[in-house]
Amino acid sequence: GKRCRADSTDAVNSTSGAGASKSVKRSHSAPILEALQKADLPVLESYHNHDQP
Protein backbone atom coordinates (compact mmCIF):
# COMPACT_ATOMS: atom_id res chain seq x y z
CA GLY A 1 0.00 0.00 0.00
CA LYS A 2 2.72 2.46 0.98
CA ARG A 3 4.66 1.67 -2.16
CA CYS A 4 1.62 2.36 -4.35
CA ARG A 5 1.13 5.72 -2.66
CA ALA A 6 4.74 6.67 -3.30
CA ASP A 7 4.33 5.73 -6.96
CA SER A 8 1.27 7.92 -7.43
CA THR A 9 3.04 10.78 -5.66
CA ASP A 10 5.90 10.41 -8.13
CA ALA A 11 3.43 10.55 -11.01
CA VAL A 12 1.87 13.72 -9.62
CA ASN A 13 5.31 15.25 -9.13
CA SER A 14 6.38 14.56 -12.69
CA THR A 15 3.10 15.99 -13.99
CA SER A 16 3.76 19.07 -11.87
CA GLY A 17 7.25 19.28 -13.33
CA ALA A 18 5.89 19.16 -16.88
CA GLY A 19 3.40 21.89 -16.06
CA ALA A 20 6.16 24.00 -14.53
CA SER A 21 8.35 23.76 -17.61
CA LYS A 22 5.34 24.66 -19.78
CA SER A 23 4.88 27.74 -17.61
CA VAL A 24 8.55 28.63 -17.99
CA LYS A 25 8.26 28.25 -21.75
CA ARG A 26 5.22 30.52 -21.80
CA SER A 27 6.89 33.20 -19.72
CA HIS A 28 9.90 33.11 -22.05
CA SER A 29 7.58 33.78 -24.99
CA ALA A 30 6.18 37.02 -23.54
CA PRO A 31 9.53 38.84 -23.16
CA ILE A 32 10.49 37.71 -26.67
CA LEU A 33 7.30 39.21 -28.08
CA GLU A 34 7.86 42.36 -26.03
CA ALA A 35 11.43 42.60 -27.31
CA LEU A 36 10.22 42.22 -30.89
CA GLN A 37 7.64 44.96 -30.37
CA LYS A 38 10.27 47.23 -28.81
CA ALA A 39 12.61 46.48 -31.70
CA ASP A 40 9.83 47.43 -34.13
CA LEU A 41 9.06 50.73 -32.39
CA PRO A 42 12.23 52.61 -33.40
CA VAL A 43 11.74 51.40 -36.97
CA LEU A 44 8.19 52.78 -37.01
CA GLU A 45 9.33 56.05 -35.43
CA SER A 46 12.08 56.59 -37.98
CA TYR A 47 9.63 55.72 -40.77
CA HIS A 48 7.23 58.39 -39.52
CA ASN A 49 10.04 60.92 -39.17
CA HIS A 50 11.19 60.15 -42.69
CA ASP A 51 7.62 60.59 -43.94
CA GLN A 52 7.38 64.12 -42.52
CA PRO A 53 8.34 67.08 -44.73
pLDDT the model gives residue 24: 58
Euclidean distance between CA atoms 13 and 31, whole angstroms: 28
> Torsion angle of alpha carbons 44, 48, 49, 50, nearest 10°?
100
pLDDT tens-digit profile, the chain (53 residues): 566 665 655 555 555 555 555 555 666 677 777 777 776 666 556 655 666 66
Predicted model pTM? 0.23
